């Protein structure tokens, strides 16, 4: 990793806070953007001192809050997908830097190389060691390429497994932060056994002796997400999705066109609420209003609280109990007539 | 995952699903194009006598090939797929299920058989490509799960014959979680120290490759089968280059270290016998 990137990693918060000055609005957020523009104008008028705008300002701020509640309170599946991919959304290393008082990033699968799309290492949350693994996306064009858009190769899954086995050896709980558009569908990925790497993780994670908490923090696309997604607790942030296929690819295959992604997103029932209702995840973690990117620091604090709570709960159980419950949970997934 | 079939015809055309089990008097090999009497093909375990092309067959034919005559019975056939999500694309999943069941001679994309192979008990989970592209729905996972319980209870070895386009999109995340479910269940088979043989046949892709297909104590494959995680079309689109000849075929996958050996269909039964006898110490003393 070069110095620029190292800086970016440990100053993720700074990068985010500077970006807050120029909010990026998604199509369905246009009404909010317009209200904020009005608010800016009104403030300027107020600053000029000619007119008293205080009551108008209060009224407008209340309106913004109402409109936000109504928009974010009834998001469609596709809008969740859009928020999960928001260019300002915090990524894995940002959260790690906020959660931990110290963090040692660990590299390499000891076999082929070091996958930049999959990061991991030993951290410490309020004095307690935690092993982190997770996909990492980049924050600008150069970094996005460097991180391969969060699409891991087999060595990424093998690096994650190596770190999880280390955690098991030293009795350290594991936190997996999931954010990927999928495992990388490349030629070398196939040569090096993408399928085998993911499959092995599924089986090995099932029987890890330490607590494993998996959290979807962005995109949870198919086997690439599941490859680090077997845990005692599988949680999703509010504006994320988890599905067997992306809405775009689903549209392309089943509708023979890229134009049905919104409909595919609805049909796939990929929101955290659906996943919880289907008992395919264990819980939903709320985000600051408007999404994690609106207040990354608050999001990190919420995440920290959740992680600490779940680790404490899981450490009350014996490892055999956790493993048995893990197998039981995943074994009962599926719907059929019998 | 199911990207394998991202072509203009889509996932569910009849050509995609068509088994190469012939119904007429003559059969034309899709590899060497030679036309031969159908009986020559069936007598040769559905392998082209001219070029050794292994035609796509399903559980009905595989059970005939591997099991001793009259020993096989199907298990867990009462488990049936259900349109829990009410999934609609150009066609409803409900209608797809009804139409598929009318067309094919199997009840799901995977059939479980219990029988004897040269006198040794073996449970086989065999995928059926003619049932919605051999896609992994909830019933596929549940039948494997029940088959594993059965093996553990009776101390039988397990064979899974994979042949799949990947996930069943119409079951969305339930389909995805079958990867987790089957892998979790396989830990119980492993803990019981019972052999699991994974046989990959043409094609084995997507979520099936990224779960049980690659988790055998022995991973074996039929010759020239397409085996991979991402489908060739998607990879080609991603890298913007043509793929090398033989890419993702059994021989390629073995060369890269992911298969123990490749087995001709004519030798399948005797190789399975070898594995079971050696791993379970069952040879005649
Ligand atoms: Zn031929």
Residues 76-105 on B with a CB inside 8 Å of A are 78-82, 84-85, 87-90
Q: Regarding the domain delimited by A81-331, which CATH topology (the fold level of the hierarchy) does it fall under? A: 2-enoyl-CoA Hydratase; Chain A, domain 1 (3.90.226)
Q: Cβ distance B177 to B168 under 8 Å?
A: no
**Residue B143 in domain:** yes
Q: Parallel, antiparallel, or unpaired: how do β-strands B135-136 and B166-167 relate?
A: parallel
Quick: pLDDT tens for A267-295. 999 999 999 999 999 999 999 999 999 99
The answer to whether residues B112 and B242 belong to one domain is yes
Residue B33 sits in which domain range? 21-55
Binary contact (B172, A244; C-beta < 8 A): yes
pLDDT above 50 (res B126): yes
Amino acid B254: pLDDT: 98
pTM tops 0.95, yes or no: no
Quick: pLDDT tens for B16-36. 445 566 778 899 999 999 999
Amino acid A9: pLDDT: 37
The answer to whether residues B46 and B120 belong to one domain is no
Q: Provide the residue ranges of all domains of chain A, joining segments of one domain with +.
A: 20-74, 81-331
CATH number of the domain bearing residue B193: 3.90.226.10
Q: Cβ distance B259 to A195 under 8 Å?
A: no
- pLDDT-based confidence at residue A109 (cuts at 50, 70, 90): very high
Binary contact (A190, B79; C-beta < 8 A): no
B2 alpha carbon – ligand 1 mean position (Å): 28
Q: Which two tokens stand for residue A158?
A: 């093998």
pLDDT above 80 (res B15): no
Amino acid B179: pLDDT: 98
Amino acid B19: pLDDT: 57
**Residue B284 in domain:** no
Number of domain units in chain B? 2
- pLDDT-based confidence at residue A245 (cuts at 50, 70, 90): very high
Backbone φ, ψ for residue B49 (5° rounding)? -65, -20
The answer to whether residues B230 and B117 belong to one domain is yes
| Average pLDDT estimate for A246-260 | 94
pLDDT above 80 (res A238): yes
Give the start-end residues of each E strand in B174-268.
Answer: 196-204, 218-221, 261-262
pLDDT above 90 (res A111): yes
Which residues in chain B have Cβ-Cβ distances shorter than 8 Å to A334? 138-139, 141-142, 174, 177-178, 181
Exposed/middle/buried for residue A251 (C-beta within 10 Å: 0-12, 13-18, 19+): buried
The answer to whether residues B239 and B251 belong to one domain is yes
Quick: pLDDT tens for A173-215. 999 999 999 999 999 999 999 999 999 999 999 999 999 999 9
| Average pLDDT estimate for B141-165 | 98
The answer to whether residues B72 and B96 belong to one domain is yes
- The nearest alpha carbon in chain B to A184 belongs to B230
ipTM over 0.90: yes
Q: Parallel, antiparallel, or unpaired: how do β-strands B73-75 and B110-117 relate?
A: antiparallel
Q: Which among B55, B79, B100 is the end of a domain?
A: B55
Lowest mean pLDDT among A6-10, A318-322, B29-33, B222-226: A6-10
Q: Which site among B4, B12, B184 would you substitute to test the A interface, given the most A Cβ atoms closer than 10 Å to its Cβ? A: B184
Could you tell me how many residues make up chain B? 285
pLDDT above 70 (res A18): no
Q: Which two tokens stand for residue A61?
A: 């701020």
Burial A210-244 (b: 16+ CB within 10 A, else e): bbbbbbbbbbbbbbbbbbbbbbbbbbbbbbbbbbb
Could you tell me how many residues make up chain A? 338
pLDDT above 80 (res B7): no
């Amino acid at each position: 990793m070069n110095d620029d990137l190292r800086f970016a990693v440990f100053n993720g918060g700074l990068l985010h806070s500077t970006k807050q000055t120029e909010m990026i609005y998604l199509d369905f957020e246009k009404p909010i953007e317009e209200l904020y523009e009005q608010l800016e104008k009104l403030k300027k008028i107020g600053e000029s001192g000619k007119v008293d705008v205080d009551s108008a300002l209060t009224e407008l701020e209340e309106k913004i809050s109402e409109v936000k509640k109504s928009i974010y309170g009834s998001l469609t599946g596709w809008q969740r997908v859009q928020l999960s991919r928001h260019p300002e959304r915090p990524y894995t290393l940002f959260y790690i830097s906020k959660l931990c008082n110290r963090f040692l990033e660990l590299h390499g699968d000891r076999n082929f190389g070091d996958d930049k799309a999959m990061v991991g290492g030993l951290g410490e949350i309020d004095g307690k060691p935690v092993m982190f693994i997770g996909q990492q996306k980049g924050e600008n064009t150069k970094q996005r390429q460097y991180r391969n858009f969060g699409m891991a190769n087999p060595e990424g899954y093998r690096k994650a497994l190596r770190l999880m086995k280390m955690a098991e050896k030293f009795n350290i709980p594991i936190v997996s932060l999931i954010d990927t558009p999928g495992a990388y569908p490349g030629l070398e990925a196939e040569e090096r056994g993408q399928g085998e790497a993911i499959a092995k993780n599924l089986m090995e994670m099932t029987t890890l002796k330490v607590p494993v908490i998996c959290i979807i923090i962005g995109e949870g696309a198919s086997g690439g997400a599941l490859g680090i997604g077997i845990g005692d607790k599988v949680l999703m942030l509010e504006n994320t999705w988890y599905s067997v296929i992306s809405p775009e690819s689903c549209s392309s295959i089943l509708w023979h066109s890229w134009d049905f992604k919104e409909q595919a997103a609805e049909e796939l029932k990929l929101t955290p609420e659906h996943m919880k209702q289907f008992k395919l995840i264990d819980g939903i973690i709320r985000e600051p209003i408007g999404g994690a990117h609106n207040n990354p620091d608050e999001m990190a604090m919420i995440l920290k609280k959740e992680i600490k709570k779940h680790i404490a709960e899981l450490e009350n159980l014996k490892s055999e109990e956790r493993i048995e419950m893990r197998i039981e949970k995943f074994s009962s997934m599926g719907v059929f007539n019998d | 995952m199911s990207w394998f079939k991202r072509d203009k015809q889509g996932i569910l055309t009849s050509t995609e699903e068509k088994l190469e089990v012939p119904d007429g008097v003559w059969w034309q090999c899709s590899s060497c194009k030679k036309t031969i009497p159908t009986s020559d093909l069936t007598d040769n375990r559905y392998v082209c006598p001219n070029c050794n092309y292994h035609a796509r067959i399903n559980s009905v034919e595989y059970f005939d090939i591997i099991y001793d005559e009259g020993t096989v019975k199907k298990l867990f056939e009462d488990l049936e797929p259900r349109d829990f999500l009410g999934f609609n694309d150009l066609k409803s999943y409900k209608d797809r299920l009804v139409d598929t069941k009318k067309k094919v001679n199997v009840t799901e994309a995977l059939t479980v058989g219990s029988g004897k192979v040269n006198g040794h008990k073996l449970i086989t989970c065999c995928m059926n490509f003619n049932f919605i592209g051999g896609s992994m729905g909830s019933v596929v996972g549940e039948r494997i799960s029940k088959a594993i319980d059965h093996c553990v209870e009776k101390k039988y070895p397990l064979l899974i014959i994979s042949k799949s386009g990947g996930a069943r999109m119409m079951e969305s995340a339930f389909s995805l979680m079958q990867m987790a479910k089957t892998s979790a269940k396989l830990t119980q088979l492993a803990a019981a120290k019972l052999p699991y043989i994974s046989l990959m046949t043409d094609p084995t892709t997507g979520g099936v490759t990224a779960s049980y297909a690659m988790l055998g104590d022995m991973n074996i494959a039929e010759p020239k089968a397409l085996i991979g995680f991402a489908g060739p079309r998607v990879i080609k689109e991603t890298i913007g280059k043509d793929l090398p000849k033989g890419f993702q075929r059994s021989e390629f996958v073995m060369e890269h270290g992911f298969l123990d050996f490749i087995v001709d269909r004519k030798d399948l039964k005797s190789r399975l016998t070898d594995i079971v006898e050696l791993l379970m110490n069952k040879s005649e003393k």
